[in-house]
Structure 1
Amino acid sequence: MKKRTAAAAMFTVAILATAAYAAHPGADYIKENGYKGPETCEECHPGKAKAFLDTVHWKHASKVTNVDGLDPKKEYGMQNRIYVMCNGNDIVNNLKEIPKNPETGKTKFSGCNTCHPGDHLNDVGSKGAEAEKAIDCLVCHSTAYDFRKRKPMKDDKGRVVMGQDRSKEAALAIGKPTAKNCMVCHEAAGGGVIVKRGFSFTKETDAHAAKGMVCVDCHKAKDHKIPTGTDPNNWANDGVRLSCADVSCHGASPHKDADLNRHTAKVACQTCHIPRTGGAFAKDFTVWAQNPDKFYEPTTLKLEANESSPVYAWYNGTVANTPHFIGPKGSKKDGKSKIYPFKIFQGKAFYNKKTGELLSMDFAPPMANGNTRAGVESAARTLGMKNPEQVAKEAVPGWQTIYFASSHLVTKTRALSCANCHAPNGVLNFKELGYSDKEVVKLTSPELFFNKVAAKMKEDW
């Protein structure tokens, strides 16, 4: 009976969704005139295309004020930064056709900016009327978007372009972005599915998804500016921050239990409600492995979502940034920090022998033939470095550790309990978190929670 009820509810939702799209005020106009890209959208939404060009999704960069060593007057992000999850950026790994594989004679298209919502002719950070016309509105807003059409190819002039689905069918299925619209890019970032963030957003893996929520229910955009958290690795932002404690979400006192609410002063919601993580935990860009198709990829060690445990640290929203470490700053004593969970990733790449700085890599050469130093040389040349051949020849392999915020895979039923943390073998290492020996003894004693848990057990009986 419950299955029938659930099926009926899903059918009703589907009917309502279909009705909502059919009721879109611009449907009749699109049926009559077809869909011509942003200029069609601008008939009802004037100025939105130009405004979109000033968002992180288009620029892949912004001014960053919470990360060590950055110039507050400049913009940083995937447009120009280098770190070992990707070991490249939109400049050195722009969308391109890679050299032919010497064994097969075949080539393919590759580039970090394949998720950029343009046509590649008008690329990351571009401005002007042509850039506005190039925006792929439907990749985010259509539930009938044919993602097979969104692939790189060469046009009749031999230029590499990114295809788009601008069909009438896709345009008539517009609405707010679904989880699929978002996850097509965000789940597959970093070189494969759940590699970078280590999470999948499904009803089986996330409590919000199980309730039927989609990404933009929390990440509510205004003028296409998307609110985000303060992930130590996610530098570029639209200047709008997101928190579980927002009054529109759970507020500062989310529990009925006062003892649990007291925890929120020092413990982030994610710490208890995201006890697991996943994704890539190590990657080697210095040695690439050959795949069955004879192309090469960096060797990556990966776990599935919910397959590994996070690392816990104090975090006050500011970020340590060195060639070998990117991670949270904070302490028990600063009055601003909370304990957060993080996914740890370590990447091996090449460093400049003279300066110690992390070097970028153009993926085209090693993807074709496995020559990673040729990739370093090409990137150095693209970035205008002196003596790129010597830089690559003398480059020194080394590791960088990155802390990724663990902000998804939310659970209520499997959240950490008192005994998970307040025990000698608990998930929190209170000593490493800065607590004194005396405090550790107190924090790891059942005395803290024994009577309360015992009473709850009697209720359950």
Structure 2
Amino acid sequence: MLDSPLIKRYSDLYQPVRFMHSKHANVLQDCTICHHRQPREEGDQYGDPITMEILRERKQPPVGCGSCHDQPFKQLHVPGLKGAYHQLCMDCHKESEQVPHFLGPVVYSAMVRGPIARTLDTRAPTDCLACHAKKVPDHNELVKIEKGADALAVTKSCLSCHEKEGTDILQTSHWNWHGPSPFTVGHEKRTDLGKNRLIINNYCINVNGNWPVCTSCHIGYGWKDKGFDFTDKSKIDCLVCHDTTGTYKKAPEGAGFPDKRVDLIKVAKNVGRPSRATCGNNCHFVAGWGESVKRGDMESGMVKGSGKNDIHMGVTEGGLDFKCQDCHKTRNHLISGRSISVPAAEGDLSCEYCHTDAPHLGKRNPMVNHLNRHTKHVACQTCHVPIYAKEKPTTIYWDWSTAGKDLKEERGKDGMSTYDKEKGSLQLKQSAKPAYLWYNGTMQRHLLGDRINGNSPTELVKPMGGIGDVASRIYPFKLNRGKQISDALYEYLIVPQLWKGFWKHGDWQKAAKQGMEHAGLPYSGQFKFVTTVMYWGLTHEVVPKEQALSCGQCHPSLTQAPYCGKCHQSRPGVDFETLAKKGMDFQVLAKEGKDVSSLIGKTDYVDFKALGYKGDPIETGGRFTVLPFGTEVKRFAGR
């Protein structure tokens, strides 16, 4: 039945699934749950039941699905390939949903194809949309808009069919610029935190008083002041996310309205699913008034980039060509994933969702056990994002105190400003080495009106965690330092009005007074510039596994003989030196023009002492365990 015309019709409605074979193999630990039969002879399409024990005994790999399921019901009870996939997937997923996790493993009878019963220890999605994205129909005939129609008329046309989607949008943090903040320490139950009012950074500082320029990144039209109506669906900008022509652009100071040169009817007739280009070029790649300014791990090269730059989103050189939503799963326009820089979260996301917490495969590989033990203490990104801002330099220091001065405007070798009269002095870095901190998934966040930190730098966003916190792991971060205006008497940061304020008259006194009136906070009339720091998570620009950090780049104890032989006996065919040194080659990157000369030959890539260790954990012991014998010691309990 699953290969009938009725079922095939659904292929016109849904896109194919990107099947994660390694995840299923890792979770199930039994290939024969899916590859459940083995042909008895050439041409046999029914076969005998098979188990892992039999495969190991015969030293045979499991056969591919198409060996038996090439055509529907060529033999009785043998569905075709599509039918076999759906029967197997749906049976397994439905059974996995029937019993909550805490009741233990699920025994699912649908998978008992041989002499043994198997168990599944994880829950799985059960409806079509959980795996399959809907296809977007051709809108050329569906869109009926008069020539010369404006952006609001386009939205009205969209809502005539998609009213529910419009209602959904009004509940999202992309629309409201605030939302639930369960990971912000001390504010876990608040829903009003976001960059629309209370969040402050050391880039463009804050939206108050600067709406038309800041909200040119908003997914709506007309947010020009604090009176914007967030309940008005007619102001939603559908095209900014769903354009497929590559021609849609927002006006730089247009409060979210599109550039007047955009052919809105052409764009409306060619809408589709969001892409890296719409998410990135219209917003995330250019946040902070320039490409790669804020985020150090995203830039326009990812639209058609190389797998060497990002293995997930790369198009060439082994890249998997992921769309953003392949990871950031979306339901009712709520998008999973979260940024450290802003508090709103609509669903958590981690590498483990696909790769599991034991991502390294191969039981006979001597490295696998060690690497999988690392995942309890070291985040995937620490090894797999060894540098960031690989293509475009990113800002690592922004000094607003020099803005407005008649200094010589300068640009770096990449053409980006290092001094701009409107914005001040900037330091940029390409191919930058991350800062490493313990992080347990929660943040301490400085809010507008909070007291600054005296003579020490004020931390606007600080990852929480520590060496004694079992929930913490070592993560990489981009660290941006800044110098920004504060109230000298009230001791809190000031929101200056930049747009039609400082950028017009160059007077910090006026800009402070204007901005704080919009922010609803008193201004004493006295200001000073203070130092701030802000951390940004690094999750994109994941390199291929062959370019991840080597063991020897972090552990100095593994850089000389006998390498791994200090703990392990020699074995035929295993070269400990090669194992210890296999990984990112900064000499190759330097030849490609990357600014990594200072990293060549580095063997203390992670500063273990700064993280609270006495030294290299291989020599001085782990945070809970003394190596190499595995004796449990509560070394940092209670810290």
Aligning the two structures, in what range does the TM-score lie when normalised by the shorter sequence?
A: 0.7 to 0.9
Relative to its length, the structure with more strand (as a share) is 1
Give the partner amino acid of 1:253: A
* Distance (whole Å) between structure 1 residues aligned to residue 171 and residue 506 of structure 2: 37
Question: What is the Cα deviation at residue 50 of structure 1?
Answer: 1.5
* Distance (whole Å) between structure 2 residues aligned to residue 224 and residue 250 of structure 1: 25
Task: Report the counterpart of residue 436 of structure 2 in structure 1.
Answer: 312
Structure-to-structure mapping, 1:188-203, within 5 angstroms: 188-199=286-297, 200=299, 201=302, 202-203=305-306
Task: Report the counterpart of residue 102 of structure 1 in structure 2.
Answer: none
State yes or no: 1:403 paired with 2:520: no
Distance 1:162 1:178, change over 3 A: same
Q: In 1, are the aligned partners of 2:477 and 2:537 still within 8 Å (CA)?
A: yes
Which of 273, 276, 280 is the aligned partner of 2:395?
A: 280
State yes or no: 1:381 paired with 2:517: yes
* Distance (whole Å) between structure 1 residues aligned to residue 155 and residue 224 of structure 2: 14
Larger Rg: 2
Question: What is the Cα deviation at residue 25 of structure 1?
Answer: 5.3
| SS class of match (2:474) | strand
Give the partner amino acid of 1:250: H
Question: What is the Cα deviation at residue 327 of structure 1?
Answer: 1.2
Q: In 2, are the aligned partners of 1:188 and 1:195 still within 8 Å (CA)?
A: yes
* Distance (whole Å) between structure 2 residues aligned to residue 121 and residue 83 of structure 1: 19
Task: Report the counterpart of residue 605 of structure 2 in structure 1.
Answer: 427
Stretches of structure 1 that go unaligned for 5 or more consecutive residues are: 1-15, 96-110, 154-159, 450-461
Q: In 2, are the aligned partners of 1:206 and 1:409 still within 8 Å (CA)?
A: yes
* Distance (whole Å) between structure 2 residues aligned to residue 32 and residue 354 of structure 1: 56
Distance 1:405 1:267, change over 3 A: same
- The worse-fitting range, judged by mean Cα deviation, of 335-344 and 55-64 is 55-64
Question: What is the Cα deviation at residue 45 of structure 1?
Answer: 2.9
Which of 397, 421, 425 is the aligned partner of 1:299?
A: 425
State yes or no: 1:162 paired with 2:273: no
Task: Report the counterpart of residue 137 of structure 2 in structure 1.
Answer: 24
Distance 1:214 1:73, change over 3 A: closer
Which of 181, 206, 212 is the aligned partner of 2:278?
A: 181
Q: In 2, are the aligned partners of 1:21 and 1:175 still within 8 Å (CA)?
A: no
* Distance (whole Å) between structure 2 residues aligned to residue 333 and residue 360 of structure 1: 37
Structure-to-structure mapping, 1:230-249, within 5 angstroms: 231-238=339-346, 240-246=347-353, 249=354
Which of 304, 323, 327 is the aligned partner of 1:214?
A: 323
Give the TM-score taking structure 1 as reference length: 0.77
* Distance (whole Å) between structure 2 residues aligned to residue 45 and residue 319 of structure 1: 37
Distance 1:70 1:356, change over 3 A: farther
* Distance (whole Å) between structure 2 residues aligned to residue 261 and residue 232 of structure 1: 26
Question: What is the Cα deviation at residue 78 of structure 1?
Answer: 1.0
Question: What is the Cα deviation at residue 42 of structure 1?
Answer: 3.3
Q: In 1, are the aligned partners of 2:183 and 2:443 still within 8 Å (CA)?
A: yes
Q: In 2, are the aligned partners of 1:21 and 1:173 still within 8 Å (CA)?
A: no
Deviation sequence 1:68-112 (CA, Å, 0-9, x none): 4548335111101343333532322111xxxxxxxxxxxxxxx21
Structure-to-structure mapping, 1:16-415, within 5 angstroms: 24=137, 26-30=139-143, 36-70=153-187, 72-95=189-212, 111-120=213-222, 126-128=229-231, 131-148=232-249, 150-152=251-253, 162-163=257-258, 165=262, 167-184=264-281, 185-199=283-297, 200=299, 201=302, 202-203=305-306, 205-210=309-314, 211-229=320-338, 231-238=339-346, 240-246=347-353, 249-256=354-361, 257-278=368-389, 279-288=394-403, 296-304=422-430, 307-322=431-446, 323=452, 324-325=458-459, 326-364=461-499, 365-386=501-522, 388=523, 391=524, 393-412=525-544, 413-415=546-548
Distance 1:139 1:341, change over 3 A: same
| SS class of match (1:47) | helix
Give the partner amino acid of 1:169: K
Question: What is the Cα deviation at residue 409 of structure 1?
Answer: 1.1
Give the partner amino acid of 2:490: T
- The worse-fitting range, judged by mean Cα deviation, of 30-39 and 195-204 is 30-39
Q: In 1, are the aligned partners of 2:195 and 2:342 still within 8 Å (CA)?
A: no
* Distance (whole Å) between structure 2 residues aligned to residue 116 and residue 161 of structure 1: 6
* Distance (whole Å) between structure 2 residues aligned to residue 143 and residue 423 of structure 1: 50
* Distance (whole Å) between structure 1 residues aligned to residue 185 and residue 487 of structure 2: 20
Question: What is the Cα deviation at residue 31 of structure 1?
Answer: 5.8
Give the partner amino acid of 2:309: T
Q: In 2, are the aligned partners of 1:296 and 1:368 still within 8 Å (CA)?
A: no
* Distance (whole Å) between structure 1 residues aligned to residue 358 and residue 188 of structure 2: 37
Stretches of structure 2 that go unaligned for 5 or more consecutive residues are: 1-15, 17-132, 315-319, 362-367, 411-416, 447-451, 453-457, 558-602, 629-639
Distance 1:385 1:216, change over 3 A: same
Q: In 1, are the aligned partners of 2:178 and 2:193 still within 8 Å (CA)?
A: yes
Q: In 1, are the aligned partners of 2:211 and 2:223 still within 8 Å (CA)?
A: no
CA RMSD of aligned residues (A): 3.1
**4+ residue stretches of structure 1 with deviation over 6 A?**
20-23, 32-35, 122-125, 292-295
Question: What is the Cα deviation at residue 402 of structure 1?
Answer: 0.8
* Distance (whole Å) between structure 2 residues aligned to residue 76 and residue 215 of structure 1: 24
Give the partner amino acid of 1:403: Y
- The alignment covers a number of residue pairs equal to 395
| SS class of match (1:198) | coil
Give the partner amino acid of 1:180: A
Q: In 2, are the aligned partners of 1:287 and 1:372 still within 8 Å (CA)?
A: no
Question: What is the Cα deviation at residue 437 of structure 1?
Answer: 5.0
Question: What is the Cα deviation at residue 356 of structure 1?
Answer: 2.2
Q: In 2, are the aligned partners of 1:94 and 1:113 still within 8 Å (CA)?
A: yes
Give the TM-score taking structure 2 as reference length: 0.57
Question: What is the Cα deviation at residue 46 of structure 1?
Answer: 3.1
Question: What is the Cα deviation at residue 181 of structure 1?
Answer: 0.2
Question: What is the Cα deviation at residue 266 of structure 1?
Answer: 1.1
Question: What is the Cα deviation at residue 376 of structure 1?
Answer: 1.4
Deviation sequence 1:296-329 (CA, Å, 0-9, x none): 223221223xx11001111001212344012111
Question: What is the Cα deviation at residue 343 of structure 1?
Answer: 0.4
- The worse-fitting range, judged by mean Cα deviation, of 286-295 and 343-352 is 286-295
Give the partner amino acid of 2:238: C
* Distance (whole Å) between structure 1 residues aligned to residue 403 and residue 421 of structure 2: 9
Distance 1:251 1:137, change over 3 A: same
Give the partner amino acid of 1:162: F
Question: What is the Cα deviation at residue 33 of structure 1?
Answer: 7.3
Deviation sequence 1:180-212 (CA, Å, 0-9, x none): 101121011112110100132332521112221
Question: What is the Cα deviation at residue 380 of structure 1?
Answer: 1.3
| SS class of match (2:330) | coil
| SS class of match (1:314) | strand
Q: In 1, are the aligned partners of 2:481 and 2:533 still within 8 Å (CA)?
A: yes
Q: In 2, are the aligned partners of 1:82 and 1:358 still within 8 Å (CA)?
A: no
